[in-house]
Structure 1
Amino acid sequence: MPRLSRFFFLAGLLAAALVLAGCGESAPETLAAPEPIASGDSCHVCGMTVAAHPGPKGEAFMSADARALKFCSTAELLTFLRQPENEAQLSHAYVHDMGATDWNSPADEAFIRAREAVYVLGHSRRGSMGHTLAPFADKNAAEAFIKDHGGKIVGFDDITLEQLANLGGGATPSHTTSR
C-alpha cells in the first residue's frame, strides 16, 4: 500500500473510531449544588427577600442557565416549576427538608432534591407566602409533622397547579408574613 493511501486509510479509521466513540454513553451530568441563601437574595417570582421569612425555601436550576433561581416559599417554587415553559427547561431543584431544620430559619445544609421529597399539603404552618407545602426527605418525619399540623402527603409528581392555587383556601398564594 503506497504511503499516501496508508495515510488516508489510517485517517479514515481514526475518524470512524471517533464517530463511534461519540455514540456511546455520555458522561453523567454534573448537577449544580444548592447555593447558600444570602441575606440579600430575592425571590425569583415576587422579589421578596428570601431569608427574611419563615418556612421552607427552594432553588431551581434551568438547563440553559447555571445560576440558582431562588424562591421564598415552596409554593412559589412549585408554581414556577409547573408552568409548561419552565417544566420543560428544568435541570433540577432543591427544597429544605423540614425534618432536618427549623421552620422559622431553615438551614442551607438541609436542602434536598425537590423530586425526591415528599410534601405535606394542607397543613396549618405558614411560610413567607402564607400557606405552603412542607417538604421532607423521610416519610416518617412527614407523618409526625401531620400529627401536629394536619395535612396530607403528596409526591412531587402529584402536585398540581390547582392544588397550589388552593393552598390558602381557594386563593392564589398571597404575599404575607403571617405566622
Structure 2
Amino acid sequence: MKHWLKLFVILLPLGGLAGCGEDEKETMVRQAIAIESGAECHLCGMIISNFPGPKGQLYAKGTRGNMQFCSTRDLFAFIVDPENQQNIQEVYVHDMAVTPWDHPDDETYIDARQAFFVIGHRKKGAMGPTLASFSKQADAEAFADSEGGKVYRFEQITLDLLISMNNMMAE
C-alpha cells in the first residue's frame, strides 16, 4: 500500500505538468498571416482578395489555424455572436492609416482589441458598409472628418451597431 501511495505522490505532479503544456498551447499568442489568393471568407464564403477595405482574422479556442474574413463587418458579425464570444483569442484587422483601401497589405495587421474603428463612413467594403480600422485614435478621427462616421473602440461594437451600419451610410 505504501508503495502505491509513493507512486501516486510522484506521478501526481507529472500529471499536472502535462495539463500545463496543453494550457500553454491554448494561450500561445499567434499572429495574423498573409491571405492567400483564392482564400474564402469564413462567414460568407466570398473570395477575400476580390474586395476593397480592411479585412480581419482571428483565432478561436478549439480550432486549428485562423479564420479569415473579407471585411471587418463580417469579422465583427462573427465576434458578436454569443456562441463565439467566449472562444475568441487573438483578433487582427488592417491599420488603414498605413495601407491602401483598395488592396490592404498583409504586413499592416494590428490587434483589433487595441484598434479604433470608424463606422458610418462613405467608403465601401466587401458587401457595402464596413468598419475602417486604425491603430491610432488621431488617424481614426482624421478619417472620420474626411469620410464621415464616428469613432468606436472594440468593446463598443455590438450587433445592434452592426445592423445600423446600412442606415448610417445613407445619412
TM class, shorter-length: 0.7 to 0.9
Q: Deviations over 1:113-165 (max 9, x none)?
A: 11111111111111111011111111111111112111111110110101101
Report SS of the residue matched to 2:64. coil
Larger radius of gyration: 1
Closer/same/farther in 2, CA of residues 111 and 18 from structure 1, 3 Å limit? same
Pick from 86, 91, 98 the counterpart of residue 100 of structure 1.
98
Matching residue's letter, 2:33: E
Q: Is the 8 A contact 2:51 2:126 kept in 1?
A: yes
Return the offset for 1:67. Answer: 1.5
CA RMSD of aligned residues (A): 2.6
Q: Corresponding residue for 2:33? A: 35
User: Alpha carbons of 1:18 and 1:152: their partners in 2 closer, same or farther (altered >3 Å)?
Assistant: same
Secondary structure at the residue paired with 2:146?
A: helix
Structure 1 residues 94, 9: closer, same or farther in 2, change over 3 A? Answer: same
Report the residue type matching 1:114 in the other structure. Answer: A
State the shift of 1:70 in Å: 1.1
Is the Cα–Cα contact under 8 Å of residues 94 and 109 in structure 2 kept in the other structure?
yes
Structure 2 unaligned regions, length at least 5: none
- The number of equivalent residue pairs is 167
Mark the CA change 1:64 to 1:167 in structure 2 (over 3 Å): closer, same or farther. Answer: same
Q: CA separation in 2, counterparts of 1:49 and 1:89?
A: 25
- TM-score, scaled relative to structure 1: 0.81
Aligned residue runs from structure 1 range 23-102, under 5 A:
27=24, 29-102=27-100
Tell me the alpha carbon deviations over residues 7-31 of structure 1, each in whole angstroms, 9 at most, x when there is no partner. 778756644655787899x758222
For 1:85 and 1:20, the matched residues in 2 are separated by 30
SS of the residue 2:144 aligns to: helix
CA distance in 1, matches of 2:155, 2:51: 26
Question: Distance between the aligned counterparts of 2:67 and 2:16, measured in 1?
Answer: 38
Cα deviation 1:86-109 (Å, max 9, x = unaligned): 112212211111112111100000
Question: Aligned letter for 1:146?
Answer: A
Q: 1:123 to 1:170 in 2, by over 3 A?
A: closer
Stretches of structure 1 lacking an aligned partner (at least 5 in a row): 172-179
Tell me, in whole angstroms, the C-alpha distance in 2 between the residues paired with 1:100 and 1:55.
Answer: 12
Q: Could you list the runs of 4 or more consecutive aligned residues of structure 1 that deviate by over 3 angstroms after TM superposition?
A: 7-24
Q: Which moved more, 1:88-97 or 1:54-63?
A: 88-97
Structure with bigger helix share is: 2
Using the aligned pairs only, state the percent identity: 36
Tell me if the contact between 2:94 and 2:133 (Cα under 8 Å) persists in the aligned partners.
Answer: yes
